[in-house]
Amino acid sequence: MPLNALLAHTAERVILPRRYGITPGKSFLYGPPRSGKTSLALQFALGFKKPIYIDLARIQSEEVQGYLLKMHLEKKVDALVLDNYHIPIALPNIPNIVLIGDRQHCPPDFRCKRILPLCFEEFVSFDSKNLSLKTLFNAFLKGGNLPEIQEFGAYKRLERLYEVVCVAFGGDKEMFLALLGFQSQSATPHRIYAQLKPTMKLSKDRIYAKLAHWQDNGVLFFLPHHSKSNAKKLYFADFSLSHLINHNLGAQLENMLFLELLKLSEQSGGMLSYGDSGELLYQDRAFVSIPFATQELIAHKIHKIQSQQIYIITLSFEGEGRVGQRQWRAMDFIDFALGEE
């Protein structure tokens, strides 16, 4: 495809606001597949008079090099976006450049920024049909948090999700799909390798390297235990991926809770970890997800938790109470994610 055919790549795209922003200068965006990195970069670039967007996966680097030099000498570029950046390219001497790629390819003079899929608040803000919060939450729960996924009909969302996995992970697709069974579980790389080895042909070096790469790029997260250095829990940037295997609603809701707490930690700082009873810990508070909670189930779930303030995130139940010296409050996910504490 001719280079200048790409310049208006997204003039017709609808670009909606995100919780992430790109400030002037040199930025490098990384994150899980289809998380909205390109849309963010284009939203930034389209604020300039002479932006250029190039997808390096579609054009030879030699052609790009010559083209950029020409545009720079002719003063026809004031903002540049290079997508799928993976090899060093002599960049024009302009102040505003956005590169998109795997984190390990970030040049030393660029600000590295991780872009994750939608939080629930963003998902609600994307609604153009004035749907009820309950309807939007059901769509979020079933469809997931990729920015594009609601463009597909309900019957095509799983198909699209599988396509994303196939394209993004290629020959590692089966390994990645197998990981989904560990969602929200205690799972170190060693435990994952030991459980997958009998059914899959893989080496320890390969799976350790892939897990590290996916974690480094925000595809998945190994949440540390608050005091045990070798203990981890596994979560995914797209909580709905478990729909591709045997879906576990409890694991999915916990993953959703983790992502909302991760958003809070990004915005306000603070350490995120988990405790001895599997509770998530943030800013001296404990968070537990129970999809269909009752007073009795809550009391049983939290009796060993040491935190004095405990939040129970549910799909419908609301209430509050006390177990010993511990105060708990139950609220549905909608209220929690929209800041209704």
Residue 12 in tokens:
């017709």
Q: Is residue 80 within 8 Å of 91, Cβ to Cβ?
A: yes
For 199-234, write each residue's pLDDT tens digit: 998 899 999 999 999 999 999 999 999 999 899 999
Residue 131, pLDDT > 50, answer: yes
Q: Is residue 6 within 8 Å of 55, Cβ to Cβ?
A: yes
Q: In the predicted model, what is the mean pLDDT of residues 136-159?
A: 89
Strand order in the sheet with 79-83: 51-55, 79-83, 97-100, 26-30, 111-114
pLDDT band at 341 (very low <50, low <70, confident <90, very high): low
DSSP per position, 60-108: -HHHHHHHHHHHHHTT--SEEEEES--S-----S-S-EEEES-GGG--T
pLDDT band at 70 (very low <50, low <70, confident <90, very high): very high
Residue 12's pLDDT is what?
A: 44
Q: Is residue 2 within 8 Å of 116, Cβ to Cβ?
A: no
Q: Is residue 182 within 8 Å of 234, Cβ to Cβ?
A: yes
Q: In the predicted model, what is the mean pLDDT of residues 97-108?
A: 96
Residue 160 in tokens:
């699209």
Domains delineated in the chain: 3-114 (3.40.50), 120-337 (1.10.10.10)
Q: In the predicted model, what is the mean pLDDT of residues 152-171?
A: 91
For 13-63, write each residue's pLDDT tens digit: 455 678 898 999 999 999 999 999 999 999 999 899 999 999 998 887 788
- Coil, strand, or helix at residue 41? helix
Residue 256 and residue 189: Cα distance in Å, rounded?
22
Residue 106 makes CB contacts below 8 A (sequence gap 6+) with: 28, 30, 99, 112
Residue 147 in tokens:
């920015």
Residue 147 and residue 240: Cα distance in Å, rounded?
13
Q: Is residue 57 within 8 Å of 86, Cβ to Cβ?
A: no
Residue 303's pLDDT is what?
A: 87
- DSSP label at residue 316: S
- Coil, strand, or helix at residue 239? helix
- Amino acid present at 131: L
> Which residue in 242, 230, 56, 248 sits closest to 161, CA to CA?
242
For 272-324, write each residue's pLDDT tens digit: 999 999 999 999 999 999 999 999 999 999 988 999 999 999 999 999 998 88
Q: Is residue 286 within 8 Å of 311, Cβ to Cβ?
A: yes
